[in-house]
Structure 1
């Protein structure tokens, strides 16, 4: 059993390598974007099945930090301020399951809105709803609960949420006075609410193991 667990850990760590991008690098600008208000609202989000539980304040802190780390004034130096508002709507933080029997994936569902400071104008017509998986652990039927704490899972999801926000901004760069980009698809980022629309992506063909 110890050997099996070690092999799982090695596989997960291998799958995690190289998927997160490096936010220490200077990014290309997004038009004249400079971050103004960075707001995260978390009000009793839906907790998916078989998930670890964390409080709203922890999610709020994780999201604000991730957005500031990626999109804050240490990285983007445009001459116009824009505000980003995020609402955390649901999550699953997969706990350690039984490999090949039950091992839920971790996901975060949120919506985002963008506002121009000088005109107080909302730039997107409707809130943009996104689902992100952790930027790691692509081994089938093995969730990150084997190797990561709830705090580490939250950090990874918030990191990927901020990355999804940046991708949305680049694809709609005209909102910020820039040129829209066409980006390759990313399997860890999906539009909509995967818990509602495609729940098997969180726990495909698995059953919760019996407990004593």
Structure 2
């Protein structure tokens, strides 16, 4: 059985170079990227039946939905293009690193999302299949020992959801043809995202510690 700790290392190996630092709070000074004719229409976030990762703090569906919807609105509500686009997000899984976990495990907070987008003028969904995105806290001196020891649950949620909104923005840029602009090169592949998500969603994800003993 592959442990969750090892699975998370695998996931982070694909994504750590992409998420070099946590997204900062969006302010009026936060620069806009070129999203062509994009304007945010419906901002839908659903966390029904989301899976909780092992060794995670508890979070309610409402808490996750509220935090992610606010982060999406803060980042995308600033755009004023000529066309409306609706974004729908399903939260498949979450993990909010809990305090008191052995240092060798050092769980990182994570969100696993599936995202769709609709073109309002055309009345159709632009995504052939939902886009899977796996979002971590960045690695830093503060989180190397597990952010459960250094951040509150709300701080973890705020950082994760800001990171998620930024990653959605990057995904939109990678599909710039939707908005009449040239697309940018993807930073990760669908396979990378799926492997990282496996760290959270695998049914056999049970962490190991050096002092763990096997029961007979």
Q: Secondary structure at the match of 1:76?
A: coil
Higher normalized contact order (CA 8 Å, seq sep 6+, divided by chain length): 2
Q: Which residue of 1 aligns with 2:146?
A: 143
* CA contact 1:31–1:176 (8 Å) conserved in 2: yes
> Which consecutive aligned stretches of 4+ in structure 1 deviate over 6 angstroms post-superposition?
none
Query: Where do 1:43-192 residues align within 5 Å?
Result: 43-72=48-77, 75-98=78-101, 100-135=103-138, 137=140, 141-182=144-185, 191-192=193-194
Q: TM-score, normalised by structure 1?
A: 0.77
SS of aligned partner of 2:49: strand
Kindly tell me the number of residue pairs found equivalent between the two proteins: 186
SS of the residue corresponding to residue 28 of structure 1 reads coil
RMSD between superposed Cα atoms in Å: 2.9
SS at match of 1:44: coil
Does structure 1 retain, via aligned residues, the 8 Å contact 2:22–2:137? no
> Structure 1: which 5+ residue stretches go unaligned?
1-17
Instruction: Tell me the secondary structure at the aligned position of residue 43 of structure 1.
Output: coil
Corresponding residue for residue 5 of structure 1: none
Give the alignment partner of residue 45 of structure 2, picking from 40, 44, 47.
40
> Structure 1 residue 198: deviation in Å?
7.6
Compute the TM-score of the two structures, normalised by the length of structure 2: 0.75
- Residue 166 of structure 1 aligns to a residue whose secondary structure is helix
**In the TM superposition, what is the alpha-carbon distance from 1:183 to its structure 2 partner?**
5.7
